[in-house]
Structures are given as C-alpha cells and as structure tokens.
Amino acid sequence: MEKNLLLLYPALLLILTFFGAKRAGKHEISGEFLSLKQAKLIQASACLGILLHHLTQSVTNYAFLPQMPITILNFCGFLFTAIFFFFSGYGLLTSLQNKPGYLSTFLQRRLVAVLVPFWIINALGVVLLAAGYGISYTWKDALSDIFGLTLVNSNGWFIIEIVVLYIVFFVLFSLFRNRDLALVLLCIFTVFLIVFASLRGHDVNGVKSSWFKGEWWYNSTIAFPFGLLFARFRERLIAFFNRRYPLKLLIVASLFVVLFILSVITVSRYGYYHTMTIHAKRDETITLISQSAAATFFVLLVVLLNMKITLGNRALSYIGGIAMELFLVHGYFVNQVFGEVRMNAMLRFACVIASSIACAAVLSPLIRLLVKKITGVLTKKRIVRDTLEGRRAEEKREKTRKMIRTGAGIAVLGVCVFALISTFVWFFRIRYEYGEEMETIRTAEVGDRVCFGYFDTDLIKPGRERLSWIVAKKDGDRVCLLCEQGISGSAYHKKHKEVTWEDADIRSLINSGEFAEIFSNYEMEVVCKKDGDVLTLLTPEEAAQMLPTDTEREVSITDVAMVRGTNANTFSKDGHWDMKGYRSSWWWLKGEEKSVYAPYVTSDGEIILEKKEVNRPNGAIRPVVWVDLSKAR
C-alpha cells in the first residue's frame, strides 16, 4: 500500500505544475512561449522532478529494491536535467540576438550568478561534514571542496559543466563575427565534451565525484546545442510545428515514450558500470545514444506543450526563484541529513522535500543579495556621451577581437607544437623504459620485483602507473612474471554453470579491453602467448610451486581495484585487524577441469580447489605474462 502511496508525490508535482495554467486558442501560439518567466516555471518543475528522482534512488537503492510503480523515477533524472541544459543554450543565443552589448558583461553576470551559490552551499556542506560527521579537513582540502576542485556536492557537476560551456560560448562569439560559424563551433565543442566525458568512464565507488566523469556529465548535455539551434531557427520551427499541431504533438509524444522505454532497457541491460568488462565501451555508447535521443524528444515535447499551455501560479513561481539553491542543497538532505535515519518512505519524502525547500528559501535571499552586489561591482558601465566616443569604443573592441584572434592562432600553433614535442618525448620515453625493463628482467633473480607495462593502480595520480611484477620462474630466455598485486576484480564466469578455462569470461576479460593496453608495442614483441593468451592466470600447481608458502601467496590489491569493488579482507587469520598496511584479497587461479567451481587462493594464502562458484563476484585478478628475452631489441 505504501509503495502505491508514494505516487502521491509525482501527482502533486503535476498538480503544482499545471495549476492555473492557460491554454492558447486553436492555431494560436502562447504569448509567453519560452519566455524567461515560463523558462523559470518549467525549470522549477524540473528541479522538483530531480529531487523526487534522487529520493526514489535513495528508497529503492537505485532500483535494486523496487517500490513500484514510483521506481520508474530512478530512470528520469537525465530528462529533468536536460530541461536545464536546453534553457541554458536557448537563453544564451536568444539574449545575444536581442540584447545589444550582451557579451560586454556576460562573464561577470553569468559566472557570478552560478558560482556564488555553488561556493556558498559547498562551504555549508564542508561545515556539515566537519561538524556533523567528524570529517577531518585540512585547509587545502576544505578550499578544494568549497571552490569545486573536488566535488563534495555531487550535484555540483552541472555548475562546472555549464561554466565551461558559458566560457566557450563567450570566447567563440567574441572571436567570430559570423554568429552561425560560432554556433556551429559551439555545437561541435559540446559534442566533443560529451564524447570526452564518456571516454573518461565512470567514477569509482567511495571517492568524490570527478570532473567530467560519470554518466551525469553527458547523458543530458545534448539538450544544450538543441536549445542553441532552437533559438537560432525559432520562427521556422514554430511555423512548422504549428501546422497540424495535434498530429505532430502526438508523434513527438509517442516517439518520446518509445525512446524512454528503450533508454530504461539499455540502462538496465547495458548501463555505465561495466567498466571492467570486454564490452564496456559498447555498453556505454549504446546507453549514451538511447538516453540522448530520449532527452532530446522529452525536451521537444515540453517545448511543444509550452507552445499552447502557459504555466503560472504563485507556488511554482516561488520555487522557480529558489531553484538554483534547491538544486544544490537538496542532496545533503537526501544523503547526509536523512540518509541514515530509519523512517518509512512516505515520511522520508516529506522530510527531505520540506527541509530542502525551507533551507533554499532561507539561503536564496542572502545569495541573491550577494550576487547582486558582486555583479554591480564587476559591471560598472561607462556612459558613452557622444557618437565619437562610441566609435572609439567600437574601434577598441575591434582591436581586442584582433588580439583574441591572434592569441587564439598562437595558442593553436602552440598546442600543435606541444603535441608534436610530446609525441617525440613519449616515443623516446617508451623506448628508453623498454630498454631498462629488458635489462632489469634479464638480470633479475626469481622472487625479484620488476616493472613491465602500465595500468591504473593509483586513485590520486592521473593516468596509468608502471606495473610491478614478481619474477616467478626463469626457463632460459623465457621468464614468467606474476603481477605483484591484484589489479582488478571479477567473477570467474558471469553465469552459474560448468565452464572450462577456454570458455571462462575471465579469460576473455584479461585478454581484451583495458588489460590489452597494459603493454606497449615494444613490450608486445617480447610477450610469449600461452595457449593463445597474452595474459593468463597461475594454475593451482604453478601457484604451489612458484609461491611455496602461504605468506608468499598472500596478495594486496591496488587502490583502484579496491574502490571498483574487488573483494577486500580487513581481518587476519587470527581475527585481528590486518596490520600489513594494505587490504588483502582472495584471488582466482586457472581451472584445469570443467566445473561449476574455480580454484582460488584465500586472503591468507591457502590454495582451495573447489569452494568458490564461478559466478562469485569480485575475486582479485593477478595476471601472469611470459616474456622471451631472446626477442628483445
């Protein structure tokens, strides 16, 4: 019964949105169509939708504990966010077209309007975490969280992205007099941003949100260039959709429903979290395309409704006035304030919504006053008294534009030169490191540590780090290297069924995808494939022979492997806290028989042949590679 009662909240949102709304006559367009006032009202409704989305994620554990039918809101957050991106793009180009001198104070006004509330609410978040949760902050960490270098507030990702888009908009439209060219370049940049964020992958669990990492950075961003283009071709689009409006509204609504259902299916079946599977990029691309399409048609549906329906009531107008603060502050109430409080879902929704709106209502007047004061200081305008002074001002602006174009040309040339130099440096560094590796491996004894290849092991350092291996066996020029740590985690096989090593998913995993990029072209020349595999695992017999004691078989896992979910054991054999300075793990061995169980090494170093089912998740992966020194050059 309670699960169905939760529908009361989205029902109330619909009532709030359309209460007092007015419908335009047949063949007429609403006089307030996409006006600033309507934009704020629509964004107010979208903001409350985002709040309900995050609350639904909280009570359903991201749809793993369904509270049907409200569970569907788990999959709607990107649609509401797309509304904000659309009106950001639409508002920028519309203001540029209709407001003379719009760019002269653009950065001062727009950046202050979004960064001041972002910084203030971040500061309150730091105080909450320090005072309420006892988190120890250094001044460096506190300032990093407050100014958004690290995202203590995961909802702050939108501010960072929109600031980037504002700055690029300003640069392009200041640099190029041809606005259509600037518009095309801005759309291209936005698509590049989507692709870049997608390729960056997903945030690992347990760390603060990273810049341009995670599906929220790109699954609704396509609405920004859509807003720009709608503003550019507004009159043509209005004329097109106004002809046979009911039919076109029905088509758009139907297409949205189909695309939304498709996006739910792709998120559930493919999703963003397959970062360590062989089809990770394929799955992310499918999900991105389906959600981008659904977001575009959702925004178009909202726009078409606004062509005929004018929203308007005091409550929604008030929410529109505090939407920025509400968007930024509600996450603290969802997660930190009420996250661990035991209460039923109905009460949780009520408490979080009421507290978030109340807090935003208190903060908003103070933030608006501060924004107004700062903007006033930054945008003091000089009065142009006569035409001559106006011409001089235009000449000065033209000189500035020329300087910007020249600077941009120099910057592009500098980037090209830097890229060329970096390529040569990278080439010689790889060649030099390869020579060092070969010499070290050649002179190493069994049990020594050597470096060979690169892999992401450190959470703090960007990129990949040198990978450390143990020389496990030497047979003439052939050397067996065993990875010193567990560098990832996985099930031996996804399905609970009897499998051989040849058919196991873990074999495919470590010979493709991210693992395939461990070695450079030089290193691949000396790698010996074993039964067709570049990387393999130790068999139980090899583990017993190469690592004869339990202590030698104990393994730590890297920071990255740990936060990606690899099993981590924090207790020792005697039930005491592990004092080794790392978290140990059990790790997979190579099965030699077809079985529903796979051999593994326990966190205390004991070899077990049949106990772990092949589909047991998050066992550590400790790859093995054979190197033939006779092939070294």
Give burial (CB, 10 Å; 0-12/13-18/19+) of 255. Answer: middle
Q: How far apart are CA 449 and CA 430, in angstroms?
A: 20
Cα(505)–Cα(235) distance, rounded to whole angstroms?
Answer: 55
Residue 446 main-chain phi, psi, to 5 deg: -55, 130
Q: What is the mean pLDDT of residues 539-561?
A: 90
Q: How far is CA 111 from the centre of its chain?
A: 22
Task: Specify whether the CB–CB gap between 450 and 481 falls below 8 A.
Answer: yes
Q: Which two tokens stand for residue 93?
A: 């180009």
- DSSP H/E element including 467: strand 465-475
Distance CA 621, CA 589 (A): 9
Answer whether residue 571 is part of any domain.
Answer: yes
Q: Is residue 228 part of a domain?
A: yes
Provide DSSP, 175-242. H-S-HHHHHHHHHHHHHHHHHHHHHT--PPTTSPBPTT-SGGGTSSTTHHHHHHHHHHTHHHHHHHHH
- Residue 462 pLDDT > 60: no
Helix (H, G, I), strand (E, B) or coil at 30: coil
Q: Is residue 2 part of a domain?
A: no
* DSSP run (H or E) holding 451: strand 449-455
Average per-residue pLDDT in the chain?
A: 84
Question: Do 506 and 360 have their domain in common?
Answer: no
Tell whether 85 is covered by a domain.
no
Q: How far is CA 535 from the centre of its chain?
A: 30
Percent of the chain predicted with pLDDT > 70: 84
d(CA 535, CA 428): 26
In a domain, 37, yes or no: no
**84 lies in some domain:** no
Task: Of 123, 179, 490, 138, give the one whose Cα is nearest residue 328.
Answer: 123
**Structure confidence at residue 313 as a pLDDT band (50, 70, 90):** very high
Query: Rounded to the nearest 5 degrees, what angle is found at the Cα of 75, between the Cα atoms of 73 and 81?
Result: 90
Decide the pairing of beta strands 527-528 and 465-475. Answer: unpaired
Burial class (CB in 10 A: 0-12, 13-18, 19+), 288: buried
Lookup result for tokens 């939407």: 323
**Maximum mean pLDDT: which of 195-204, 294-303, 350-359, 434-443:** 294-303
- Which two tokens mark 455? 């892999």
Same domain, 369 and 460: no
**One domain for residues 487 and 588:** yes
* Residue 24 DSSP class: P
Question: Radius of gyration (Cα) for the chain, nearest Å?
Answer: 29
Residue found under tokens 């496990």:
472
- Is 470:585 a contact under the CB 8 Å cutoff? no
How far apart, in whole angstroms, are the C-alpha atoms of residue 274 and residue 269?
A: 10
Q: State whether 358 and 475 are in the same domain.
A: no
Whether 265 and 339 map to the same domain: the answer is: yes
Q: How many CB atoms lie within 10 A of CB 297?
A: 22
For the chain, how many structural domains are there in total?
2
Looking at 381, 397, 417, the residue that finishes a domain is 381
**Do 580 and 493 share a structural domain?**
yes
* Mutual angle of helices 8-18 and 345-378, in 10-degree steps: 40
pLDDT in tens, 350-365: 999 999 999 999 999 9
For residues 215 and 54, the model is more confident at 54
Q: Worst-scoring range by mean pLDDT, 184-188, 273-277, 575-579, 626-630?
A: 575-579
User: Whole-angstrom Cα distance, residue 527 to residue 438?
Assistant: 12
Strand order across the 624-628 sheet:
449-455, 465-475, 478-483, 624-628, 527-528
Q: Are residues 468 and 361 in the same domain?
A: no
pLDDT band for position 404 (50/70/90)? low
d(CA 576, CA 585): 15
SS3 assignment, position 547: coil
> Which residues 6+ apart lie within 8 Å of 165 measured at CB?
88, 89, 186, 190, 193, 224
> Do 593 and 458 share a structural domain?
yes
Q: Are 622 and 467 in contact (CB under 8 A)?
A: no
Residue 393 lies in a domain: no
Distance CA 114, CA 162 (A): 9
Residues 6+ apart with CB under 8 A from 419: none
Is residue 13 within 8 Å of 51, Cβ to Cβ? no
Whether residue 174 is found in the same domain as residue 261? yes
Residues 502 and 356 in one domain: no
> DSSP secondary structure string, 383-415?
P--SHHHHHHHHHHHHHHHHHHHHHHHHHHHHH
Select from 298, 360, 283 the least CA-distant residue to 323.
360
Comparing C-alpha atoms, which of 372, 343, 431 is closest to residue 58?
343
Let me know: does 355 contact 326? Beta carbons within 8 Å: no
Of the candidates 381, 399, 422, which is a domain's last residue? Answer: 381
- Please give the pLDDT value at position 570: 57
Is residue 294 a contact partner of residue 256, using CB atoms and an 8 Å limit?
yes
377 is written with which tokens? 């200081």
Mean pLDDT of 576-583: 47
Q: Do 452 and 330 sit in the same domain of this protein?
A: no
Phi, psi values for residue 402, rounded to 5°: -65, -40
Within a domain: residue 464? Answer: yes
> Which of 98-107, 166-175, 272-281, 521-530 has the largest mean confidence?
166-175
- What pLDDT band is residue 577 in, cutting at 50, 70 and 90? very low
Please enumerate in sequence order all residues whose Cβ is within 8 A of that of 50, keeping only pairs 6 or more positions apart, or say none: 77, 80, 81, 327, 330
Report the phi/psi class of residue 291: left, alpha or beta, with left for phi > 0 and alpha for psi in -120 to 50.
Answer: alpha
Strand partners, 489: 620
Quote the domain boundaries for residue 167: 92-303+324-381
Q: What is the pLDDT of residue 59?
A: 84
In a shared domain, residues 280 and 375: yes
621 near 488, Cβ under 8 Å? yes
Segment 231-235 shows an average pLDDT of 95
pTM of the model: 0.64
Would you place residue 384 in the very low, low, confident or very high pLDDT band (cuts 50, 70, 90)?
very low
pLDDT at 43: 96
